[in-house]
């Protein structure tokens, strides 16, 4: 690692690690191209959000402590997911509100943690990428990223520079996809009804590809789409920006 | 109404299959939200007003005892009376005693959520009195013997045909061949019936959107004008409200009114905004002989200073309900409480007990839309989470869920073992979905594959591949 490279710790997120490693490789490529050196601590699993949203603060705290210990050494911490980044940025400090030592460490980590697209746009000032995809695409704004981190223009601006890609906006791009973490398991029927509305809205655009920045939402949308027999492709935006769509089929679809 | 919140899941299942309801909800999902958006765009200072509205409510809640006492003194000075009701039982008794003292028989009612909370109609009927709802929506659901499904549009779950059916069944003087196809015909029919009741009523009961401490006034906003007739024609006017509705001054009240209608229906102002101050004065052309304000607590003072404190800022605009994807999918009755949607999922456990409404705080995707639109910036997701925390700590969490979460946490806190086992598991799942890219079902039934395919993993985990590649580690 050279001296003027930014030392970035990649928080892979559990879903990307398990289900879609290509997203993490794409994130690494995008950040390396922009002059970062990426380190991936092995001692990482989950940010603790499922526990936190289930009211299990003790376990959430234990997981948060592991993340803090492992990641506070970096200049920046980046996650290819709005909801995991928001967990660290927004909710870690809340979690340790009555525990002064950990609060300081949580706040310190919070200020240097970013979601991938905001990191590229707002910190590294990347405004174009070397990538091509001959498709019409529509972008789904995942809730946490949108409302807790203000991710809205960044992905669109970056997608604008992808050769051959035409972006069409869905009428309800900001509406929840019905995933909601454990919500989709506990209230499967309601969740899938919300997901159906989302699918209809996305399909109405006529886009060939649905893009988003959160793998949870994307797996939910893609899983419902293939269950309904739709052929629209669903992908994480990082795969497109890093020009890696050839390396892996769309989510929930076979190699074709 | 009787609380039925513990049946949320089953209620929701039914609601999802009810085609009429689904058609009504479809309209709601776009109607109110689009109108709100347009209203916001016409008022550039809307965001600042929201801050002011929040601050007014926060200030009032910090000095609640002071403003409530000030309100009481002003009401008394203007010739009215304030009654304090600790709980629903108290509230009902007070209302009945006022009615009894004047020998009332018929009572007209304007729309009041506190009335719903007290289930005042049922109580008065039990006592042999005849309460008649005069808000069109409330009137219709009263005829159908149903609870409201929305806090400002109580009959939003119904279609026109339901209304006609209810009128034909209960309006005995209505000729069978009268055409009621057009909405206007239904309106005329309702108006004809209600006019007679207004004139005959001995007591008029209304709700209050606000109580103004500096003047002792209560304020209602309506679009039909029925509230005005309810409170000016009968001899006795009873206002039902709750402790958090007080605001210090008329100026404050105006600020809140400016965000209320815009957030609710996208109107700049509701059609009627009516201030009531005391009984009819000597120079007043009309008004009631007696003016009573019943102020209900029913668990609200317990919320002060606790996790759900901020919920007391709520001005019942319904924006959070209108924008909620869960409400838009299942409607209000599924919640089994008169307060549905996000605000209800915070409020119902606070008023009726968490053990009776376990599902409600969990019935949210935590998308945050409610907080985004709330005119007084109530952090609803945060409060839902605080209920979940309480559930987790105090016990009422289904055992399987508790086990699943504890199990997940156990693994997640042992990264070495986790990565090894995850590596094997993902290989197997990747193999299972190698052709189609997804898995249709697992040996054990689960909520995911009931309704969606499970996207198959690529195969090796990222951690494995990063190690193989010799990527940088700490
Ligand atoms: S919580 Fe906020 S948005 Fe919901 S009804 Fe109350 S004031 Fe309106």
All residues of chain A having their beta carbon less than 8 Å from the beta carbon of residue B326 are 187, 190, 194
Q: Chain A residue with minimal CA distance to B11?
A: A190
Interval B261-288 mean pLDDT: 92
Interval A126-135 mean pLDDT: 95
**pLDDT above 70 (res B125):** yes
Interval B432-436 mean pLDDT: 87
Q: Chain A residue with minimal CA distance to B430?
A: A19
Buried b (16+ CB within 10 A) or exposed e, B317-352: bbbbbbbbbbbbbbbbbbbbbbbbbbbbbbbbbbbb
**pLDDT above 80 (res B396):** no
**pLDDT above 70 (res B1):** no
Mutate to test the interface with A, among B462, B464, B471 (most CBs of A within 10 A): B462
- Cβ atoms of residues B220 and B110 within 8 Å: yes
B437 sits in the region (left: phi over 0; alpha: psi -120 to 50; else beta) called: left
Tokens describing residue A149: 């981190």
Mean pLDDT over the full length of chain B: 91
A5-27 pLDDT, tens digit per residue, is 899 999 999 999 999 999 999 99
**pLDDT above 80 (res A3):** no
Secondary structure of A133-156 in HEC code, one letter for each residue: EEEEEEECCCHHHHHHHCCCHHHH
Q: What atom of ligand 1 comes closest to residue B370's alpha carbon? A: 3
Domain chopping of chain A, boundaries: 6-122, 127-247
Distance from CA of A100 to the nearest CA of B (A): 20
CATH class belonging to B39-298: alpha beta
Q: Does A191 touch chain B (CB under 8 A)?
A: yes
**pLDDT above 90 (res B445):** no
Q: Chain A residue with minimal CA distance to B450?
A: A188
How far apart CA A13 and CA A80 sit, in angstroms, is: 7
**pLDDT above 70 (res B282):** yes
Ligand 1 pocket mutation pick from B312, B375, B381 by most atoms within 8 angstroms of CB: B375
**What is the reported pLDDT for B31?**
87
Q: Tokens 């404190």 appear where?
A: B309
| ipTM attached to this prediction | 0.96
Closest C-alpha residue for ligand 1 atom 7: B314
B165-181 pLDDT, tens digit per residue, is 888 888 877 788 888 77
CA of B226 to the centre of ligand 1 (A): 24
Tokens describing residue B172: 């005995």
Q: Is B259 in the pocket of ligand 1 (CB under 6 A)?
A: no
Distance from CA of B471 to the nearest CA of A (A): 7
All residues of chain A having their beta carbon less than 8 Å from the beta carbon of residue B463 are 12, 17, 40, 42
Q: Is B314 in the pocket of ligand 1 (CB under 6 A)?
A: yes
Q: Is B113 in the pocket of ligand 1 (CB under 6 A)?
A: no
How far apart CA B289 and CA B235 sit, in angstroms, is: 5
All residues of chain B having their beta carbon less than 8 Å from the beta carbon of residue A73 are 474
All residues of chain A having their beta carbon less than 8 Å from the beta carbon of residue B13 are 189
CA of A184 to the centre of ligand 1 (A): 25
Ligand 1 pocket mutation pick from B318, B324, B383 by most atoms within 8 angstroms of CB: B318
**What is the reported pLDDT for B427?**
87
Residue A249 DSSP class: P
Distance from CA of A213 to the nearest CA of B (A): 15
Q: Is B317 in the pocket of ligand 1 (CB under 6 A)?
A: yes
Domain chopping of chain B, boundaries: 39-298, 317-397, 404-468
B190-237 pLDDT, tens digit per residue, is 888 888 888 888 999 999 999 999 999 999 998 888 888 888 889 999
Considering only the C-alpha atoms of chain B, give the largest distance between any 2 of them, rounded to a whole number of Å.
92
Q: Chain A residue with minimal CA distance to B446?
A: A185
For the ranges B26-30, B42-46, B261-265, B431-435, the lowest mean pLDDT is seen at B26-30
Tokens describing residue A46: 């989950």
Record: contact A51-B13, CB cut-off 8 A: no
Record: contact B447-A197, CB cut-off 8 A: no
How far apart CA B374 and CA B369 sit, in angstroms, is: 9
**pLDDT above 70 (res A256):** no
Q: Is B61 in the pocket of ligand 1 (CB under 6 A)?
A: no
Given pLDDT bands bounded at 50, 70 and 90, which one contains residue B136?
confident
Interval B338-343 mean pLDDT: 95
Distance of CA A91 to the CA centre of its chain: 16
Q: Which of A46, A180, A182 sits opposite B412 (nearest CB)?
A: A46
How far apart CA A200 and CA A195 sit, in angstroms, is: 9
All residues of chain A having their beta carbon less than 8 Å from the beta carbon of residue B406 are 56, 59
CATH of domain A127-247: 3.40.50.11810
Mutate to test the interface with A, among B366, B396, B432 (most CBs of A within 10 A): B366
């Amino acid at each position: 690692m050279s001296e003027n490279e930014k030392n970035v710790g990649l928080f892979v997120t559990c879903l990307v690690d398990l289900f879609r490693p290509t997203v993490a490789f794409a994130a690494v490529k995008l950040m390396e191209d922009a002059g970062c050196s990426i380190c991936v601590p092995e001692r990482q699993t989950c940010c603790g959000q499922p526990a936190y949203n289930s009211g299990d603060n003790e376990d959430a705290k234990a997981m948060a402590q592991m993340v803090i210990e492992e990641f506070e050494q970096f200049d920046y911490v980046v996650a290819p997911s709005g909801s995991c980044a928001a967990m660290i940025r927004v909710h870690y400090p809340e979690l340790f509100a009555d525990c002064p030592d950990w609060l300081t460490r949580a706040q310190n980590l919070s200020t240097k943690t970013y979601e991938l697209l905001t990191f590229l746009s707002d910190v590294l000032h990347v405004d174009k990428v070397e990538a091509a995809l001959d498709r019409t695409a529509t972008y789904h704004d995942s809730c946490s990223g949108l409302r807790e981190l203000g991710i809205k223009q960044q992905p669109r601006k970056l997608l604008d520079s992808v050769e051959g890609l035409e972006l069409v906006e869905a009428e309800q791009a900001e509406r929840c996809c019905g995933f909601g973490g454990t919500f989709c398991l506990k209230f499967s029927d309601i969740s899938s009804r919300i997901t159906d509305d989302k699918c209809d809205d996305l399909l109405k655009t006529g886009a060939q590809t649905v893009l988003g920045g959160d793998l949870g939402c994307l797996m939910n949308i893609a899983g419902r789409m293939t269950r309904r027999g739709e052929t629209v492709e669903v992908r994480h935006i990082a795969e497109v920006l890093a020009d890696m769509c050839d390396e892996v089929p769309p989510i929930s679809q076979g190699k074709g | 109404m009787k609380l039925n919140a513990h049946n949320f899941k089953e209620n929701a299942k039914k609601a999802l299959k009810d085609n009429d309801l689904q058609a009504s909800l479809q309209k709601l999902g776009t109607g109110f939200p689009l109108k709100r958006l347009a209203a916001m765009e016409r008022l550039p200072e809307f965001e600042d007003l929201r801050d002011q509205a929040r601050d007014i409510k926060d200030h009032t809640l910090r000095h609640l005892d002071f403003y409530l006492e000030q309100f009481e003194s002003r009401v008394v000075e203007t010739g009215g009376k304030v009654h304090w009701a600790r709980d629903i039982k108290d509230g009902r008794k007070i209302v009945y005693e006022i009615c009894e003292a004047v020998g009332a028989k018929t009572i007209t009612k304007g729309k009041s959520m506190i009335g719903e909370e007290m289930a005042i109609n049922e109580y008065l009927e039990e006592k042999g009195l005849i309460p008649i709802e005069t808000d069109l929506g409330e009137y219709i659901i009263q005829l159908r013997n149903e609870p409201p499904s929305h806090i400002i549009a109580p009959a939003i779950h119904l279609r026109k045909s339901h209304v006609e059916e209810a009128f034909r069944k209960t309006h005995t003087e209505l000729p069978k061949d009268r055409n009621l196809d057009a909405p206007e015909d239904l309106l005329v029919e309702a108006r004809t019936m209600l006019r007679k009741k207004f004139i005959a009523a001995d007591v008029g009961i209304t709700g209050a959107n606000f109580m103004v401490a500096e003047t002792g006034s209560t304020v209602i906003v309506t679009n039909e004008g029925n509230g005005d007739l309810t409170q000016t024609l009968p001899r006795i006017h009873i206002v039902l409200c709750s402790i958090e509705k007080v605001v210090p001054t008329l100026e404050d009240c105006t600020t809140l009114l400016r965000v209320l209608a815009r957030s609710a229906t996208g109107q700049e102002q509701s059609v009627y905004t009516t201030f009531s101050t005391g009984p009819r004065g000597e120079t007043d052309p009309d008004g009631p002989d007696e003016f009573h304000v019943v102020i209900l607590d029913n668990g609200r003072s317990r919320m002060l200073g606790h996790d759900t404190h901020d919920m007391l800022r709520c001005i019942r605009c319904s924006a959070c309900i209108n924008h909620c994807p869960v409400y838009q999918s299942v409607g209000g009755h599924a919640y089994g409480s008169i307060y549905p949607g996000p605000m209800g999922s915070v409020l119902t456990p606070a008023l009726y007990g968490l053990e009776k409404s376990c599902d409600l705080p969990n019935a949210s995707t935590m998308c945050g839309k409610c907080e985004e639109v709330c005119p007084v910036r109530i952090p609803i997701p945060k409060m839902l989470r605080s209920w979940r925390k309480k559930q987790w700590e105090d016990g009422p969490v289904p055992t399987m869920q508790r086990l699943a979460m504890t199990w997940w946490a156990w693994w997640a806190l042992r990264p070495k073992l986790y990565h090894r086992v995850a590596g094997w598991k993902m290989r197997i799942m990747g193999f299972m979905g190698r052709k189609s890219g997804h898995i249709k079902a697992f040996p054990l039934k689960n909520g995911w594959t009931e309704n969606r395919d499970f996207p198959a993993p690529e195969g090796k985990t990222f951690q494995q591949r990063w190690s193989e590649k010799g990527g940088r580690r700490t």
